[in-house]
Every structure is written in C-alpha cells, then in structure tokens.
Chains A and B, each alone.
Chain A
Amino acid sequence: MVEMSGAGALWTALKKEGVSHVFGLPGGSVIPLCDELLGFDLRFILARHEQGAAHMADGYARASGRVGVCLATSGPGATNLVTGIATANMDSSAVVAFTGQVNRAVIGSDAFQEVDIIGCSASVTKYNMQVRRACEIPAAVKAAFHIASTGRRGAVLVDLPKDVTIDVEEMVFPETVHFRGYKVEPAPDQRELDVAAALLAKAQRPVIVAGGGVINAGASRQLVALSEYLMAPTATTLMGKGAFPADHPLSLGMCGMHGTVAANNLVPEADVLLIVGARLSDRTTGAVKSFAPNAKVIHVDIDKTEVDKNVETRMRVVGDAGLALSGLLERVGKLRSKAGKDSIWHRKLAELRCASNGKNGNGAKEGYLRAPDVIKALRKVLPRNAIVTTEVGQNQMWAALHYDAYEPRTFFTSGGLGTMGWGFPAAIGAKTARPDVPVVDIAGDGSFGMTENSMATSVEEEIPVVVVVLNNQMLGMVAQWQRLFYDHRYSAVNLRGNPDFIKLAEAYGAEGVRVETLEGFEAAVRRAIVSEVSTVIDVPIDPEENVYPIVPPGMGLKDALLEV
C-alpha cells in the first residue's frame, strides 16, 4: 500500500498499463491531473480540440493494437470527446477516455462546466463509470483497460470528479479485476466448429467475407490459410481492408455499397458464405434479401449479439476469429474438402477480377486529376507497410476501392459512424504509434476543414503526416447523391469559401503543395513522406466526378451502377 493523491494514482496506474502517450486538452477540473503529470514519464500530446484528442487516441489504438488514451476536462471538454468516443466504439477500437468532473459536493447542481457525461456517453461506450473516491482509481483504470481491450474491443469512459483527484489516500494497485457479468470467452464451441466445417467442406461456391474483427484478432494469417485451402474467393468489408492481401489471387476487394465488381457479384452467388469478424451493416450488405439469397451463412464473431442481427445465419461460431479460423482449417483438412474446386466458379472469379471498377474511359477534365488515378499513384509510391487513414465521403470510398491494402493495420477509416474529420487526427495518432512508417490521410476538402486545427499538434509535437486533399470544393458525396438521386439539385454542398490549403499549412509551419499532374503528385508524395513536418498536398479534382460502382440505396449488391 502506498499513499498518494488520486491524480498520482491515475498516472501510476496508466504507467502500469504500459501507457506511453496521452492525447488531450486540459481545463479547470483536470488541472490537478496535469500538475501531477509533471512527475511522470508520460508524453502528453496537446490537442487543439477534444474531438481531435479522441481521434488521435483511436488512431493510436488501431495502429498499435494497444489501448489509446485521451483526456478532457469536464463539461464542454467532455461533450467534445463524445463524437470521438462514439467513432472508436462503433469501430471496435480500444480507447479509454478520462474526463474531469466538478467536485463531488456540487454534482447535480448545474455547476460551472458540469455535464452528466455518464448519461451522455452511455449509448456510445462499451462501459463507463464515475469514480467516487480516490482509492478507487487504481481498480477503475484496471477495469477500464480490461474492458476496452478484451472481447469485442470498445471505448470506456472514466469520469473523475476534481476533488477525487486531489484527495490523498492509501492506494492498492490490483493485478486483475473481476466483473461477475463480464464474460470473455475467446474459445469457440467445438460443436459449432464441427457443423460449420462440415458446411464449408461441402461448398461448391464458397466465399469468405472478412471484417475488422480479423484484424483486431490478429488472424490474417489464419484467414489466408483457410481461404487458400478452400480456394474460397475472399472479400473484405470496409473495416476489414488489410485483413486479406489485396494482391492475393483470391482477393475480391471490398464488398458493399461501393464494393468492387468482383466482390459484389460473387458474394451473392455463394452457396456457403463464411463471415468472419464483421457485423454486416447496411452499407456492407445492400438490400439484405439479395445479399446471400442462396447461401448457407456461417457467422464467426467474438460478439454474439452481432451474429444473426442483420443477416440470418445457418451456423454461428462465437469466439476469437483466429481460434475459429484455425479450428475450421483443421476440420476441413480432416474432411478432405473438395470445396471451391469448381472450375466454372474460378473462371468467373478470374473474369470479374479483370472487370473495371467504375468509369475509366474518359480522361480527366482540363485542370483536374481523376481521384482513382491519384489514389493508385499514391499506392505505387508508398511502401507496402505504409499506413493510410481516410476521411469520410467520396475520398473514403475512392480510397477503399482503389488503395490496395496488403497488411493488417495499414488502412484505417471511420467505418461505422462515418465521422468527417476523423482521418487527420487519427493519422497523427497512428504516426505516434508507428513513427517508423509513412502515414497518409486521404482527405476531402470538407472533412479536412473539420479538424485541420490538429495541424498545430502535428507541428508542435513533431509528428509529421501527409494529408492528400482531394479538393473538389464540394461536400462531394452529398453532391453525388444529389446528382444521382435528386435530379442534380445541389443543396448546401458548395464549399467555394474553402481557405487556400497551401497557405493554411504554411500558416501552421507545415508544408503545402498544389499538384497539377500525376507525376507532380508522385514527386510531392515522395518528398512529403521524408519531410520532418506535415505536408498538405492539394489535388484539384472534378466536382462532377462520382464514385463508381455505387449500389443505389435499397438495392442489392448486384444492382450496382458502374456509371450513369
């Protein structure tokens, strides 16, 4: 037992969890925490808005596979975190957020900068708690890290009243915590695996759809092994990008609303569809009735509430994706599976893989580059293990379609919540975790405008990243829907008041460059990834350019429009 303040206990507990970086922004109720921090070997990365701090912690968590930590003050600091927490939680990213709170005696009195953050964050966290005594802090930190990082990962919020962080008490730092109601059972049921393997072994047209759960479980190797054994064409969801190498002969790319021609045509044809670590949102399935109309669906997930939620499942396998995949491989091996050996099926795969994904014929309009070409050029220039983050909208879908991810934890996006402004601070967080690899945010001008103030953090903390702004001076995806589904009526999408992004970058002490050719773009990227400061590469693209393919809302995956 050791006597210390609540603040000291917090930082000590974080050190014990192996935390090296905290992303945050202080305010009145966390001044005692910041003061105590001075005595600890912890790097505090000062954000310029709490949302940015949460996204940085999220990017850090995704790139490192560890827990990302962020801190904000009470009231507006805490509410500003909420979007970031919700983003992380929806994408199963392990983030622990600490918020300051007013003194215990005035909680409930509408004190200055008081907000009920426990109530506010309940719907967007895996768990949350308010610490009521200083001596409870060590166990609260242990619990928060345990819950955030085990089972299906997620966000946990810990609310710390100011006087709790000041009080000095005897502290005990527990090695473990136990929650009677929190069960983590990674090992799948053997009988479930037996049945699933028997279904897979008999498949004529097997397809695998891999989601972000495969990456979180570190199960890419097992996925490739099973896919190859079954000769099963393998698609990923948006969150699953990187789980299966995009240059593998069995790779279909992404399926879903903006999925590849190959994935969106083969997934609905499957007779046995193996879903691994994916929750099958509406953006992945399109109209559910035509997602897998003739398939026996096997769904593997660590979160049993995801199985059978959106797509009716023949066989559920609840557990860790790695254990499930190796269990399935072992079993289909014993069954001497003939699965996937159908040559017509593979000819179809080969044909579809050659099909173009969207309009290629017309060159770029005068003065613009085509976004898919820009992203393919980026891929060519970056090393295989480079990290790409995206913003949300057209930039995100172009990146998902045209940026080939080869390795897990190299492609990050706000898949579930679709948070514009996520990619840039997330890139800073990812670069903090992986200073050894280039980190590039594929952005749009609308999204970049939402969190560009993170540039101050990037410059001051010397965490250089590259921002590629696909600049169409539009809220591009909304404009695309207005062109395609609202008779070309533009409403509230014009961003002609954007700042000059070059001058903006320079104003922060970063670098900015505008490119007019693909060669110029490639050269700019080559310079940017070795620069000691962040670089914004402004790429003018055609405001009329659409992302294709697109599955119109309410339609099936096979109904994708390739162009209009």
Chain B
Amino acid sequence: MSELHTIAFIVENKPGVLFNISNMFRKKNFNIHSISVGAIPNAEVVRITIVVQADARGVYQVVEQLDKMVDVVEVKRLDPMRIVRRELALVKLTTADPWAREEALTCVNDYHGLILNIDPDTLIAEVTGDSDEIDAFLEKVKPIGIIEFSRTGITALEKGRLRLERGET
C-alpha cells in the first residue's frame, strides 16, 4: 500500500550533492512529496528530510539507494510513532475587509500561529504543525482569501536519545 514515509539523512556538504540526490529519485522513479534541507555548521554536512510516497518495498529501496550513494553519510527511515514532525508555512491573506482581518486573527490564534507582518490590506501569518494541521489551517483561511503561501516541507527528529549520526550522544 502506497503511503507517505519520512526519511532523514546526512550528506557531505559539497557542490552537486543535492543534484545527485534529486537525480537518483528521478532516475529510480521515486516520488518526492516534500524535502527540507539545512546545513549543520562546522560539520561540513547537510541534514535532509524527505517525505516520499511509496509502498513498503519502495521505501526500503529508497533507503538502500540513498545509503549506496557515496556522499550520503547516514540514512534512516523514521518510525512515525517515535518522531516529532513539523512543517512551517507562511501564508499571506487579504484583509481589506475588517471582517476578514478579524477572522484571520482568530484563525491564526486558534492554530497557535504568529502574525509576522501587517499591511493595510494584507497580513502574513506563520503556522507550524504537522502537515495535516497546516492543510487544515489553509482550508480554514481559504474563505478569507489566500494571496500566496509557502511551505517548508517536513522536518523531523526522533524522540529520546536516538540520533541519526553514529556515535555516542
């Protein structure tokens, strides 16, 4: 059964590595649902979190193919029960109408979001949560009027003392 899986991995911070990763996904016909990337300072590595749509055998192959890549240092499929997952979305709403502004502030508040910018007839809100919460927020503010939004994709950490990199914590 095809579903979403979260895979975290650490790669060498070299030119072309991200290209090689995305190229492998394309070449093997795997579908990237979301990807988030951030350098780890002083370690010359980058941590990447990818969400893929695949069946059990497919996700196994994704992990193995990543592990085989020369510049992939560590890779792990994360157990959804043992991780925290977060995505961040920035949403620009049209608030020319006083009702709309009132409604927008209520929604952002309900979703524990932040208001980052207010202009005479727009505002930008920041919302974090798992992907379902962000979907729900976007659905909720749709009647108000979304001008545009940007989502970061999922990033995730394992609970407890587990860590991706080998060695002691």
Q: Which residues of A contact B (CB under 8 A)?
A: 118-119, 122-123, 126-127, 130, 147, 179-182, 303-305, 308-309
Contacts and interface: CB of A to CB of B under 8 A. Distances in A.
Given A122-B23, A304-B68, A181 B61 contact: no
Interface string B1-39: 000000000011001100110010001000000000000
Counting chain B CB atoms within 10 Å of each CB, the highest count among A119, A122, A126, A305 belongs to: A305
A119 B69 CA distance: 16
Contacts of B115: none
B16 A305 contact: no
A308 B16 CA distance: 29
Given A118-B16, A122-B20, A123-B23, A309 B61 contact: yes
B27 A123 contact: yes
Interface residues of B, number: 21
B68 A305 contact: yes
A24 B128 CA distance: 56
Nearest to A156: B70
A149 B159 CA distance: 40
Contact of A122 (B19, B65, B68): B19
A11 B41 CA distance: 37
Given A180-B12, A181-B12, A303 B68 contact: yes
Contacts of B70: 126-127, 147, 179, 181-182
Contacts of B73: 180-181
B135 interface: no
Given A123-B23, A181-B73, A305 B12 contact: no
Nearest to B17: A181
Given A180-B73, A181-B70, A181-B72, 8 more contacts: A122-B16, A122-B19, A122-B20, A122-B23, A123-B23, A126-B70, A304-B67, A305-B61
Contacts of B68: 303-305
30 contacts: A118-B16, A119-B19, A122-B16, A122-B19, A122-B23, A123-B27, A126-B70, A127-B70, A130-B16, A147-B70, A179-B70, A179-B71, A180-B12, A180-B73, A181-B11, A181-B12, A181-B69, A181-B70, A181-B72, A181-B73, A182-B70, A303-B68, A304-B68, A305-B61, A305-B65, A305-B68, A308-B57, A308-B60, A308-B61, A309-B61
A309 B73 CA distance: 23
B64 interface: yes
Contacts of A182: 70
Counting chain A CB atoms within 10 Å of each CB, the highest count among B20, B65, B70, B73 belongs to: B70
Interface in B45-76: 57, 60-61, 64-65, 67-74
Smallest CB-CB A-B distances: 4 pairs: A181-B73, A180-B73, A305-B64, A182-B70
A126 B70 CA distance: 8
A181 B71 contact: yes
A463 to B, nearest CB: 34
A356 to B, nearest CB: 40
A127 B60 CA distance: 22
Contacts of B20: 122
A145 to B, nearest CB: 14
A82 to B, nearest CB: 15
A293 to B, nearest CB: 19
Contacts of A118: 16
A304 B64 contact: yes
Nearest to A304: B64
B21 to A, nearest CB: 11
Contacts of A147: 70
A127 B15 CA distance: 13
Contacts of A181: 11-12, 69-74
B23 to A, nearest CB: 5
A119 B23 CA distance: 9
A91 B6 CA distance: 33
Contacts of B23: 122-123
Contacts of A309: 61
Nearest to B28: A305
Interface string B63-100: 01101111111100000000000000000000000000
A446 B57 CA distance: 41
B28 to A, nearest CB: 9
A126 B60 CA distance: 20
Counting chain A CB atoms within 10 Å of each CB, the highest count among B15, B68, B69 belongs to: B68
Nearest to B75: A181
B13 to A, nearest CB: 12
A282 to B, nearest CB: 15
Contacts of B15: 130
A180 B9 CA distance: 13
Contacts of B67: 304
Contacts of A305: 61, 64-65, 68
Nearest to A124: B27
Contacts of B72: 181
B34 to A, nearest CB: 23
Contacts of B57: 308
Contacts of A127: 70
Contacts of A308: 57, 60-61
B6 to A, nearest CB: 20
A128 to B, nearest CB: 8
B20 to A, nearest CB: 6
A182 B65 CA distance: 12
A304 B61 CA distance: 9
A411 B11 CA distance: 39
B166 to A, nearest CB: 10
Contacts of B27: 123
A170 B76 CA distance: 40
Nearest to A147: B70
A448 to B, nearest CB: 32
A95 to B, nearest CB: 16
A183 to B, nearest CB: 8
A15 B81 CA distance: 54
B39 to A, nearest CB: 16
Contacts of A119: 19
B51 to A, nearest CB: 21
A122 B12 CA distance: 16
Interface in B104-141: none
Counting chain B CB atoms within 10 Å of each CB, the highest count among A118, A147, A180 belongs to: A180
A338 B57 CA distance: 34
